[in-house]
Amino acid sequence: MDLPNNLIECLPAEAQKYCNFVLFQTINLPIGFTVAKQQLRKEGQNTQASYRIVLENPQTNQIVIIKQFLYDWAPPAYDYPCLWYNTKQFSPALKTAPRYARVGQRLLWIGKNYRGQQAATIDLERTRIEVTFNNIPLRDEILIDLIQGLLPCDDKIRAQLLNTSFAQMSYPFRVQNKVSDVPLSYWKHKRSKDCVSRALIEERSPSWRCAWLERNLRQHGYHLNSLFEFIRDKTIVEKEYLFEHETYPGVFVHLLATPQDSLDPIAFPPSIGDQVCQQEKIVIGEKAMHLSYLDPHYGNYEFVWQEEGMIYLLLIRAAAWVTYAWAFQLMGFSIE
């Protein structure tokens, strides 16, 4: 029987058949917690698939919720989209940046979500995982143990999904939905809701591409996975090139490109948004770039620059190797 909000009680192995993302099952539970609910929301008209695991401590009535889905309607802003600072919810005095904890080669971000709840988020093999634990003193090591205890529930389907391009997995691009205007970056750049999106197999206008950057990305183990176009009034106003690390699925670099005369150009020089971050302007020779990032150890890093009539915004997702020096090396700069 369907539950409210179209949630269906369903074990992970069965739910995976209906999910366009690698579905994880829980192995390590916090002490005193048991699995109370496992609920699937199937993909449908205007509904994207997701899976929800509810952990409960019967003695204390405390609840931990683990939500899994494919974040496929825009680049996941700041690498921690559910923890973004919302001016409607929080006063400036409560404006704090999330902290990170390493989980293998990936970063788990911990803070408060846009509802003011204690939460954490990580991307594992393209699957966005959000953990909510409001008013529960879960230490970082317990959260890390919980994440490390998430294992794919079906290895065969996992392999099939990871051999599928992100665009083919993505719900909005398969149905060519209207574009979401959610935040994309530390910089002020949003896509207009008047746009529609389209996924491409082949590049039609290679003049939009940044050849030197693609060469550098290949040298660092990233390959082009998907290409998206954003169209307004029958005109392509923006493209997004999605590069994925060849060893760690889901560790992405997004390159957003707009012509300088686009209807919705990336602003240059850019201005920063309302998230906690650091920013720098780098000038080497005739090349000027603007950089924003949260943490100098792991990023994530966002560069904005212009060349040959194009404006580019590069979003480098956080990972264990993505350091400040690494990001500059990727951009063709060397720093002492």
Only one residue has tokens 């496929």, namely 72
- The answer to whether residue 53 sits within a structural domain is yes
Range of the domain at 194: 166-330
Kindly list the distances between the CA atom of residue 326 and the CA atoms of 28, 190, 288, 299, 320, in Å, as whole numbers in the listed order: 34, 27, 18, 10, 11
- The answer to whether residue 173 sits within a structural domain is yes
Write the single-letter amino acid at 297: H
Residue 218 CA neighbour count, 13 Å, CB half: 7
pLDDT single digits (tens) 217-266: 999 999 999 999 999 989 999 999 999 999 999 999 999 999 999 988 99
pLDDT at 2: 39
- The answer to whether residue 269 sits within a structural domain is yes
pLDDT at 157: 97
What is the CATH number for 88?
Answer: 3.40.1000
- The answer to whether residue 147 sits within a structural domain is yes
151-157 CB contacts, 8 Å cutoff, 24+ apart: 151/24, 151/25, 151/27, 152/22, 152/23, 152/24, 152/25, 152/125, 153/12, 153/13, 153/15, 153/16, 153/23, 153/24, 153/25, 154/13, 154/16, 154/23, 157/16, 157/17, 157/22
Give the 3-state DSSP-derived string for the chain, with helices as H, strands as E and coil as C.
CCCHHHEEECCHHHHHHHCCCCCEEECCCCCCCEEEEEEEECCECCECCEEEEEEEECCCCEEEEEEEECCCCCCCHHHCHHHCCCCCCCCHHHCCCCEEEEECCEEEEEEECCCCCEEEEEEECCEEEEEECCCCCCCHHHHHHHHHCEEECCHHHHHHHHCCCHHHHCHHHHHCCECCCCCCCCECCCCCCCCEEEEECCCCCHHHCCHHHHHHHHHCCEEEEEEEEEEECCEEEEEEEEEEECCCCCCEEEEEEEECCCCCCCCCCCCECCCCCEEEEEEECCEEEEEEEEECCCEEEEEEEEECCEEEEEEECCCCCCCHHHHHHHCCCCCC
pLDDT single digits (tens) 286-332: 778 999 999 888 889 999 999 999 999 999 999 999 999 999 999 98
pLDDT at 219: 96
pLDDT at 4: 47
> 208 with 157, same domain?
no
Written as six digits, the tokens of 28 are 């390590």
Q: Is the pTM for the entire model greater than 0.85?
A: yes
With a cut of 70, list the residues of the chain below it in pLDDT.
Answer: 1-5, 85-95, 201, 204-205, 334-336
> 130 with 175, same domain?
no
pLDDT at 86: 57
- The answer to whether residue 313 sits within a structural domain is yes
> 113 with 218, same domain?
no
> 158 with 178, same domain?
no
Number of domains in the chain: 2
